[in-house]
Amino acid sequence: MVVTGERASAADRRRERNLEIATLYADGVKQREIRVQTGTSERTIRRLLQDDEFRRLVHKIRRERTDEINAKIPALVDRALEKLDWLLVNTESDTTLLGAIRTAIPLGSRLEAEEFADRLERLEQSIAVEQGWTVPYLDDEEPDDDDLDD
C-alpha cells in the first residue's frame, strides 16, 4: 500500500521508506546507492540493519523473488531443450552442432549423476535399516561409532 499526500502519517511514511530500503537491499543495491535513492541517512540505515524485523523483511522479499524466479525455470528449460534438440537435428553448421553437443552431453551426465546419487542414498538407507542404525542417521546424520560396530 502506497500512502501519499498530506494525510499520510509519519509512521506510514516511515513504513513506506523502510519497505523501499528493504526492497533495494533484497535486490542487492549497495548502501551508498540506497542512501542516494531514498535520501536516508547512514545512521538510519545502520539502525535498520540491526533491527531483526527489518532483516526478516529483507529475507522475506528475497525469498519471494527467488520463488518467482524458480517458478519460471521449468518453462525456460523446456524451451531451451526444445531448441537444443532442434539444433542437434537440423543445423548445417558444424560449429553450431558442436556447441549443441557440448551443451547436451553435460546435461546427460548431470542427470545420470543425480540418478546415481538417488540410488546410492536409497541403498545407504536400506543398509542402515538392516544394520539397525538410529533414525537420525536416516535423516542425513552420520552414524555413531557404536552403530558401526554392530
Distance (Å, rounded) from C-alpha 60 to C-alpha 18?
14
Q: How far, rounded to the nearest angstrom, does the alpha carbon of residue 100 sit from its chain's CA centroid?
A: 27
Q: Which of 78, 103, 100 is nearest to 89 (CA)?
A: 100
Q: What is the pLDDT of residues 86-134, one digit of tens each?
A: 888 888 888 888 888 888 778 777 777 888 888 888 888 888 788 777 5
CB 54 within 8 A of CB 22: yes
Q: Where are the domains of the chain?
A: 1-71, 91-142
Residue 9: partners with Cβ closer than 8 Å, 6 or more residues away:
3
Q: What's this model's pTM, rounded to 2 decimal places?
A: 0.52
Q: What is the pLDDT of residues 7-49, one digit of tens each?
A: 678 889 889 999 999 999 999 999 999 999 999 999 999 999 9
In this predicted structure, the answer to whether residue 147 has a pLDDT above a threshold of 50 is no
Q: Which three cell numbers stand for residue 106?
A: 553435460
Q: Which three cell numbers stand for residue 66?
A: 527467488
Q: What is the pLDDT of residues 56-88, one digit of tens each?
A: 999 999 999 999 988 888 888 888 888 888 888
| Phi, psi for residue 22 in degrees, rounded to 5 | -60, -40
Other CB atoms within 10 Å distance of the CB of residue 57: 19
Residue 49: partners with Cβ closer than 8 Å, 6 or more residues away:
55
